[in-house]
Amino acid sequence: MSKSDPRDIDEDAILRGLSAEELDKLEYELQEMDPENAMLPAGYRQRDQTKKSPTGPFDRFALMDYLEKEAMEHKDSDDLVPFTGEKRGKAFVPKPGTGQIPAEEQITLEPELEEALKNATDAEMCDIAASVAFFSASSSSGSRVICSSAGICPVPGLGTKALPTDSREKEKCQGIAEMLQSNTTLQSLNIESNFITAQGMMAIIKALKENSTLTEIKIDNQRQKLGDSVEMEIAFMLENNPSIIKIGYHFTQQGPRARAALAITRNNDIRECILILFSQTLQLVLVLFLIFFIKSIFNSVFLCMYCDDVSCFSCSVPVSQAIAEMLQSNTTLQSLNIESNFITAQGMMAIIKALKENSTLTEIKIDNQRQKLGDSVEMKIASMLENNPSIIKIGYHFTQQGPRARAALAITRNNDILRQQRVR
């Protein structure tokens, strides 16, 4: 090694030649500190720069007292503009009539109503507010019914007249029951946290047996317990009303709870079956429509050029047969996309056979079917490409090496034929 090579330096000899002060300075410089590391204590984030020796043990409370004393004894700086308490500007005086309701918005009530509202208690005012909230909600799309405790009945047709104590609850629930019997649009009803008795709930449950539009009802948390007979009636109503799929009520008896749970499960299953049947019927109608659509439109000279993409359309065997018939007679279609469908091997065979007789189609996409087409179909595709020089593009992923190689050679040959025709 050369003399200038740093590996020849003897570090031990250099360290032995340093004095005590130089060693302390070197140790100070070699300390690894990270001032941005929040996980380290403050004393370990930077080097100790204090040269003075400690005068005694650390006392936090003494330090806090000293800092507080220093802060109290420190004189504040004088204000640039001393405060004298002088008020400047004009005092605010509101304009006459400010804060009052305009004359065109004021409502004049009858003297009897004015007197009734003036002498009404807080409970009666809450009942009146509940009545107003009910009528405003029922005029739009609300379904929250509040049965008050002071005789104010928020049910259409009964007004807000104070009823006698013995008959007011019965009248309220009877009004709700009559509404349920005649209403044909309400889908959700919430009468939770009210004062409905067992007799009133019986009237509502009996009315629900004749209602076929309500799907959700909440009747829990009444002031009085409804009892076993009401719970049995609720379970019986759910078993005979398949339209209700949600109910908000905590049963106290095991029997009615189990019957209600089974009824709700059955109602949800019935609703799901109806939706499935509707979707299957709609899909069948779409398939039939597509068959007639392909037969009528794809055979048209003027419209078939704009109907070349039926991908993701759930095409089945009848639809593939219709496509095959269209390809045999069509003379204008140049591109066809039937990817991502339900075409089986049998349907694809019919389409491939029809392509042998078609001389205008130049591009076809048949990949990503729900079922694998199989080796025989892939061999038919390769044979079709070898016998049909018009197809220059095909969208299909071959699973076998033999048909893939034959199809690649055929596509290359067809493109060469097309290029030679353009050159001529």
Handedness of CA 222, 166, 163, 207 (dihedral sign): positive
Structure-token match 């799929």, residue found: 245
Homologous superfamily (CATH) of 298-423 is Ribonuclease Inhibitor (3.80.10.10)
Tokens, residue 166: 């013995």
Tokens, residue 139: 């005029």
Q: Contact, 211 vs 166, CB < 8 A?
A: no
Model-level pTM?
Answer: 0.33
Answer with the residue of higher pLDDT: 1 or 62: 62
Other C-beta atoms within 10 Å of 208: how many? 25
Mean pLDDT of the chain: 78
Q: Which pLDDT score, from 0 to 100, does residue 384 have?
A: 92
Least confident of 36-50, 152-166, 194-208, 261-275: 152-166
CA dist 387 and 257 (Å) reads: 72
Tokens, residue 13: 């000899």
Q: Which pLDDT score, from 0 to 100, does residue 411 have?
A: 92
CA dist 130 and 146 (Å) reads: 7
pLDDT band at 169 (very low <50, low <70, confident <90, very high): low
Q: Which pLDDT score, from 0 to 100, does residue 382 have?
A: 92
Q: Contact, 336 vs 365, CB < 8 A?
A: yes
Helix axes 198-208, 228-240, angle to 10 degrees: 10
Answer whether CATH 3.90.79.10 is correct for domain 111-269. Answer: no
The residue-averaged pLDDT of 58-77 equals: 89
Looking at the predicted structure, is the pLDDT value of residue 205 above 50?
yes
% residues pLDDT > 90 (the chain): 13
Most confident of 11-15, 110-114, 124-128, 397-401: 397-401
Looking at residue 144, the DSSP 8-state letter turns out to be: B
Q: Which pLDDT score, from 0 to 100, does residue 297 have?
A: 52
Structure-token match 């076809």, residue found: 364
Other C-beta atoms within 10 Å of 309: how many? 13
Looking at the predicted structure, is the pLDDT value of residue 303 above 80?
no
Least confident of 18-27, 55-64, 170-179, 377-386: 170-179
Q: Which pLDDT score, from 0 to 100, does residue 123 have?
A: 75
Looking at the predicted structure, is the pLDDT value of residue 156 above 50?
no
% residues pLDDT > 70 (the chain): 82
pLDDT in tens, 90-135: 888 888 777 777 777 777 777 877 787 778 887 777 777 766 655 5
pLDDT in tens, 139-153: 444 444 444 433 333
pLDDT in tens, 308-353: 555 555 556 677 888 888 888 888 888 998 888 888 888 899 999 9
CA dist 178 and 197 (Å) reads: 17
Q: Cβ neighbours of residue 349 under 8 Å, at least 6 residues apart?
A: 377, 380
Looking at the predicted structure, is the pLDDT value of residue 157 above 50?
no
CA dist 276 and 422 (Å) reads: 54
pLDDT band at 406 (very low <50, low <70, confident <90, very high): very high
Structure-token match 């040269």, residue found: 51
Domain with CATH 3.80.10.10 in the chain: 111-269, 298-423
Looking at the predicted structure, is the pLDDT value of residue 68 above 90?
yes
Q: Which pLDDT score, from 0 to 100, does residue 409 have?
A: 93
CA dist 208 and 235 (Å) reads: 12
Residue type, 386: E
Structure-token match 């002071």, residue found: 150
Looking at the predicted structure, is the pLDDT value of residue 47 above 50?
yes
What's the half-sphere exposure (Cβ side, CA atoms, 13 Å) at 141? 1
